A and B are shown apart, each in its own frame.
Chain A
Amino acid sequence: MSRLPAARRRQTIWRQLDAAARWALPGAMLAFGLFLLGLPFHIPGQALLRPAYAMGCVYFWSLFRPGSMPIPLTGLIGLLLDLMGVTPPGLWAVLLILLQSATLLARRRLAPRRFLFTWAAFTGFAAGTSLLAWGMQSGLGFSLLPLWPSGLEILISAALYPALAAVLVRVHRGAAAVELS
């Protein structure tokens, strides 16, 4: 066994479990966070936090660990977001997949840049996603919805991202880090 190179060595069940847990942590964290944000904390504007949190997480993990946020998982998370709220099922799935695709396309240019630049890029992506959400919901409801909740959503997303990134960077380097051996 020791003759084989390290990469080809057969892994024990514990190593496999450990790797699976590290791989699944970003998605599980995202889903659990969505659940927690539904609790009645009675914060004004709490309803806006959930999409902002989902967009921030999807952006961050697509940028720095796309392997842990495969597109089918993003779709499921979006569906969960729709079903936990009252939006038509599949709407946020489409939006989050579009956000992730855009992030993946720009990944090579964004990832090595400074934090301020990635923050600005996220604000841009969140703005696009929120406006698209407004357009889709207006179209599906056959009525022109007011634009200000989307504006508020963009502001909240932009304000939430630094705090979210600070936590996610730690997770990225710590518990979710890919073990190299």
Chain B
Amino acid sequence: MIRLSVPFRQAVSRLSPVLMLMLSLGCILIGRADQHFDEDLRAGLNDILAPAYMVFATPIQAAEHGTGVVGHLFSLSEENAQLREQNEELLQWQEVAMALQAQNDALKASMNYVPSPMPQYSTGEVVADTGGVYDRSVLVLVPPANGNPQSLVGAVAMDGRGVAGRVVEAGARSARVLLISDLNSRIPVALGANGAPALMAGRNDPTPALIYWSPGQPPAEGAMVLTSAQGGAFPPGLPVGVVHYNAQNDPVVLPLANLDALRLLRLFSYPDNLPVLTQIPHTKPAPESRHGKRH
């Protein structure tokens, strides 16, 4: 053990708060200057912690799912009857769906419709709630990415019912999903049947606000909110939620995804070849157009 003189140790102990403060402030500054600094640190830490989270989360989930194997045995015959009934109903729906698909295919064929690109997806379990006072995000355990883990960044995260958020950081084993309720989340959406454009902004509470809707078309109560392809960040037509007017008479979105209790998320990585927005030239109109006006 190193023995230090008493005055030296006193000086160190007096200086250490100042030194540590300066180090921490330096950390903040480096984080501000270099975005990758904290992303790399976080992805590394999350990759280490994710398996540990998984180990601890499993018994919790087992407890949540009720009484376990013995409990399920008692309700087995009941469940079977219910499933049989449901199966019959679904078979009827399958017939309806197949008829509709045939009709849809025929209509698309007659209109020379270009199908939208199919996304790749991976399914992951939500193992940790990584939010803070001003953040809403969750950590998802993903299967080891083949090759480039960064390919997951920007993927759309959906639970069984609707869009829950987007992947903002991805490591080899884990991905961090920024939820739509986060203050930094801004998602272009289309409202109702005619797809009126608006922006959905997270407010750090369960219901994101709707902003920048066109003044002539106020969002209707109960209208469906879908993602919009404006800006190219999201594919069009993914279900997000329903419009609702809150007590202050501001339009908000009631998300379809159960943001408070996310268990499984599917991360859809869309190919980069989404339709590019038409470029509007900023040059002066060509002389031909003036020529045309004279006629």
Contact = CB atoms under 8 A, between A and B. Distances in A.
Contacts of B127: 39-40
A48 interface: yes
A56 interface: no
B28 A86 contact: no
B27 interface: yes
B105 interface: no
A100 B138 CA distance: 29
B119 interface: no
A153 B133 contact: yes
A89 B41 contact: yes
A106 to B, nearest CB: 14
Given A35-B49, A90-B26, A90-B31, A150 B56 contact: no
B126 interface: yes
A74 B263 CA distance: 33
A90 B27 contact: yes
B260 A38 contact: no
Interface in A61-98: 70-72, 74-75, 78-80, 82-91, 93-94, 97-98
Interface string B1-27: 000000000000000110011011111
Given A38-B128, A98-B21, A140-B32, A89 B133 contact: no
Nearest to B23: A75
Interface string B33-75: 0000110011001000100110011001000000000000000
A85 B132 CA distance: 6
A146 interface: yes
Contacts of A140: 28, 32
Contact of B16 (A46, A48, A72, A133): A72
B123 interface: no
- Point out which of A47, A86, A87, A88 has the most chain B C-beta atoms below 10 A from its C-beta: A86
Contacts of A85: 130-132, 135, 137
Contacts of B57: 39-40
B129 interface: yes
Contacts of B25: 90, 94
Task: Tell me the interface secondary structure of chain B in the complex.
Answer: helix
Interface residues of B, number: 46
A42 interface: yes
Interface string B198-229: 00000110000000000000000000000000
A36 interface: yes
B133 A51 contact: yes
A162 interface: no
Contacts of A40: 57, 60, 126-129, 138, 261-263
Contacts of A100: 17
B256 interface: no
B20 A86 contact: no
Contacts of B52: 35
A9 to B, nearest CB: 15
Contacts of A79: 24, 27
A44 interface: yes
B209 to A, nearest CB: 12
B134 A145 contact: yes
A83 B56 contact: no
B205 to A, nearest CB: 9
A50 B204 contact: no
Of B133, B136, B139, which is in contact with the most chain A CB atoms at under 10 Å from its CB? B133
Given A38-B53, A88-B32, A140-B32, A93 B132 contact: no
When A and B form their complex, which 7 residue pairs have the shortest distance between CB atoms, in order from nearest? Answer: A90-B27, A47-B131, A85-B132, A93-B24, A86-B135, A90-B28, A38-B128
Given A46-B129, A85-B135, A86-B131, 6 more contacts: A40-B129, A40-B261, A72-B16, A84-B45, A86-B178, A94-B25
Interface of B: 16-17, 20-21, 23-28, 31-32, 37-38, 41-42, 45, 49, 52-53, 56-57, 60, 126-139, 176, 178, 183, 203-204, 260-263
6 contacts: A85-B135, A89-B37, A89-B41, A89-B42, A90-B26, A101-B17
